[in-house]
Structure 1
Amino acid sequence: MSSLLGLRVGRLRALAIFAAISFTGAAVTANAQEMYQPQCFKPMPGTTKTISYPAKPGPWRLALVNGFVGNSWRIQMIQSLKAWATRPENAKNFRELKIVSTGTDVAAQIAAIDNLIAAGYDGIIFIAVSPTAFKPVIARAKRAGTVLSSFDNVVDSEEILLVNEPQVEFEQVKSQFVFDNLTTKQGKVLEVRGLPGNSVDRDRSIGFHNVFDKKPGIETVTVVGNWDDGTVQKVVSDAVATHGQFIGMVTQHGTTGLMNALKDAKHPKIPIGGAGENGSLRMIHDGDWTSIARVQSPALSVVAMKGVIALLEGKKLPQHVGLPVPTLYSKDLKDGANYSTSLPDNFQAGADFKDCDVVLPFQELLKQTPDNT
């Protein structure tokens, strides 16, 4: 953290530099060297717009507005942000950290963001319940001088900072791996979708169908798993009972539930495209299944907050940040290296962003609760 004098000088410099730029960013193609921490904040493919704000002295009042709260990923996401924010080198930036979880109601989430804007919060990160409907609240944040960042399930907007992994490509790579490893190209492939109405669910399904649609001899069956292990286990069990054996499966999340369903059904081994839940990696390794696991990291919340703080300091970022997708293959799984028998089954393995200096040991996360604050 700079000294107060340094912050004032930085603010004046930022005001001079950005006087001719709109408050929410400039549509310019920027040299990566001009960006803040370019090794971390890389533009999403196709993104040329940058975003910047006049510097504002800290420490700041900052908030996370979460929506859906019904799975272990959201718990770890909140714990990740709290753990990172309590480290001494980061805590000095926080005058206050507010955590709000609103459920799946769009109006409730917008109202929560509006309340924080009205209360004078400097920056807010949020996982959008819907990719649309946020344009008015984004405009209100702009007028109030509140920096917004949408991450994970991002909004469809070019006016605020977006932080995500490339979702269509995310599922397309998984699906291509499953297709390439099918022992037969005749049969049914199961798609387990996430929470309806979210941009991640929408884009991941596009990636799946980019691979499997119009493949001769392959029929796709789709079920909704809500990104929850218990729900995934039930819908996969029901799908097997209804349709019989599948030649491959791809799930957005809840891979531990999927593996439990296959085990209970005594289903023959098939290629699996899943996520990075620790329990599923253990079962895949122990059972010698063929799989790919791609991780939507809960630490996206930390990178989004780092981005908001950088913008409040007057730094420049790509308007849409694309983070790398941690990917694990069954042939490379090793206890203690990329999964652990000593960790809970629902722990999201492989979730660190080392290029962003975001490494969060599980012991650190356990000290935090997912409660609202």
Structure 2
Amino acid sequence: MKALLKSATAVAVLALSAQFANAGPNVGSGPGADPACFAPVSEEADYFQWPAREGPYKIAFVNGFIANDWRVQMIAVAKAYAEQPNVAADLAEFKVVSVGEDIAAQIAAANNFIDQGFDAIIINANNTAAFGSVVRKANDANVVVLSFDNVIDDPNQIAINVDQKGLGRAAGEFLLSKTDADPAKFLHVRGPAGQPVDIARNEGFHEAIKASGRTVEVTDVVGNWAPGDAQKVTADAIAAGGVFDGIYVQGGSQGAATAMLDAGKFTAPISGETENAFRQLCNEKGLTCQSGGTGPAQSSVTIKTAIAALKGELIPQSIALPTSISYAPFEEGVDVFPELPGSFFAGNNFDACNIGFTAEEIAGQTGENN
């Protein structure tokens, strides 16, 4: 009897192991579908393939916080994309929810959509290391998980991102190229503490400085990627006696530039994000500016990727999006848009993915939950 029990137990364990081994996508090698759009991060990237399922599909987007208009616009272009006729034909439902900075709430929201039978869950993670259990649960339920911007660390989901560290490195190289000061003093207006994008950009920024071999004193302040916060902390840093040879502001760039101009103590080169108001200010005041970032429309690329994965197409586990960097003076109608709000972010077109939006499409959407 004991032998029979042991045998039965062993069979059950083997069956359970096989179940978990088969959970989630099949893993293979490329080339995959639409390589111009779904470009792998490297030639060594794994490729995922889920069994094709019949549409239309239910896709949920679980956002974290909304600190600035980039997040609002990012959600707006996602909604606009989901309403385009050729995309809407593949969607039974597209649900958006933002949960604030509460990591537990974001995990709970993702799990809830899995329990509701959604086909794919898109996540812009508050904490990239916290979603391993969500990915495992999704794979067990044959739900496709994708993350972008603040991408999940777990390798068993699709990650879509630009080179965030590269953006920080480009900012450091730009500021170093624009000053001969030795030692130099830079102000770094960072994003929310603990955010993965902030961490990656900070690492790249300091890598560029270290690689230069020059002596640079960096003053770090937290601007939360928001214009008002960035303006206040920049003004405070200058009021405390700071005279800087360069400013790197990750977001809320027009706020930092305004604080510098209002103080009237110096005019330094600035590396900022892609805010329309920042670019307008650089042109108006003749500032030396670099403007680069992550286009809000990467949310739409993620929806396109989700639909392709649900159709059974072969997709890279890690997809690299192009980075857009422009320099002042910015060309009207191409890099800066006087007829659009200052809060507008450039980077709403990904030509390789056949994704683009008119101002009217974006203006017709909100960043609210639906």
Check the 8 A contact 1:25/1:159 in 2, yes or no. no
Aligned to 1:281: 279
Aligned residue in 1 for 2:247: 249
Select the structure of larger CA radius of gyration. Answer: 2
Per the alignment, residue 90 of structure 2 pairs with 93
Opposite residue 23 of structure 1, the aligned amino acid is G
Q: 1:170 aligns with which of 153, 167, 170?
A: 167
Distance 2:253 2:107 in 1: 31
Counting matched residue pairs gives 349
| Distance verdict in 2 for CA 1:207–1:45, change over 3 Å | farther
Could you state the TM-score of these two structures normalised by the residue count of structure 2?
Answer: 0.91
**Partners of 1:169 and 1:337 in 2: CA distance:** 23
Q: How far is 1:75 from its partner? A: 0.4
Supply the AA of the counterpart residue of 1:70.
A
**Superposition pairs for residues 81-120 of structure 1, below 5 Å?**
81-120=78-117
Paired residue for 1:223?
221
The code of the aligned residue for 1:125 comes to I
1:24 maps to a residue whose letter is P
Distance 2:42 2:271 in 1: 23
Letter in 2 for 1:338: D
The residue that corresponds to 1:17 in the other structure is none
SS of alignment partner, residue 358 of structure 1: coil
CA distance, structure 2, for counterparts of residue 232 and residue 46 of structure 1: 39
Letter in 1 for 2:171: K
Query: Does the 8 Å contact 2:23/2:139 carry over to 1?
Result: no
1:280 partner amino acid: F
Q: Is the 8 A contact 1:25 1:49 kept in 2?
A: no
Whether 1:76 aligns to 2:73 is yes
Instruction: Look up the match of 2:307.
Output: 309
1:158 matched to 2:155? The reply is: yes
Give me the whole-angstrom Cα distance separating, in 2, the residues matched to 1:216 and 1:181: 13
Aligned to 1:48: 45
Alpha-carbon shift at residue 202 of structure 1 (Å): 1.0
Counterpart residue identity of residue 48, structure 1: A
In 1, the alpha carbon distance for the partners of 2:109 and 2:24 equals 23
Change (3 A) 1:158 1:223: same
**Partner amino acid, structure 2, of 1:282:** Q
Quick one: which amino acid aligns to residue 332 of structure 2? D
Aligned residue number for residue 365 of structure 2: 368
Two-structure CA RMSD over aligned residues (Å):
1.6
Query: For residue 130 of structure 2, what is the aligned residue in structure 1?
Result: 133
Which residue number corresponds to residue 25 of structure 2? 24
Distance 1:346 1:101 in 2: 20
Q: Give SS of 1:120's match.
A: coil
**Alignment partner, residue 188 of structure 1:** 185
**Paired AA for residue 229 in structure 2:** T
What secondary structure does 2:186 align onto?
strand
Instruction: Answer yes or no: is 1:318 the counterpart of 2:286.
Output: no
- Equivalent pair of 2:169/2:208 in contact (CA under 8 Å): yes
Native 8 Å contact 1:296 1:351 kept in 2: no
Query: Is 1:358–2:355 an aligned residue pair?
Result: yes
**How far off its partner does 1:29 sit?**
4.0
- Structure 1, unmatched stretches of 5+, are 1-19
Amino acid at match of 1:232: A
Secondary structure of 1:243 counterpart: coil
The one-character-per-residue Cα deviations of 1:304-349 (angstroms, maximum 9, x if unpaired) are 1111110000001110001000111114x12222111111111001
8 Å Cα contact 1:117-1:141 kept in structure 2: yes
* Partner of residue 231 from structure 2, selected from 210, 230, 233: 233
Aligned AA (1:56): R
SS state of the match for residue 274, structure 2?
coil
SS state of the match for residue 240, structure 2?
Answer: helix
Counterpart of 1:268 in structure 2 is: 266
Corresponding residue for residue 176 of structure 2:
179
Contact 1:47 1:320 (8 Å CA) reproduced: no
Q: Where in structure 2 are there 5+ consecutive unaligned residues?
A: 1-20
Question: Percentage identity across aligned positions?
Answer: 36
Deviation per CA, 1:234-288: give whole Å up to 9, x if none.
Answer: 1111111113210001111111111111121124221111111000001111211
Cα deviation for residue 94 of structure 1 reads: 1.0
Distance 1:267 1:41, change over 3 A: farther
TM-score normalized by the length of structure 1: 0.90
Q: 1:372 to 1:47 in 2, by over 3 A?
A: farther
CA-CA distance at 1:25 after TM superposition: 4.1
Residues of 2 paired with 1:47 and 1:345: CA distance?
Answer: 41
Corresponding residue of 2:6: none
Asked if 1:36 is matched to 2:28, the reply is no
Post-superposition offset of 1:184:
2.1
Q: Distance in 2 between the 1:311 and 1:230 partners? A: 40
| Contact preservation (8 Å) 2:24, 2:140 | no
Q: What's the counterpart of residue 9 of structure 2?
A: none
CA distance in 1, matches of 2:44, 2:220: 32
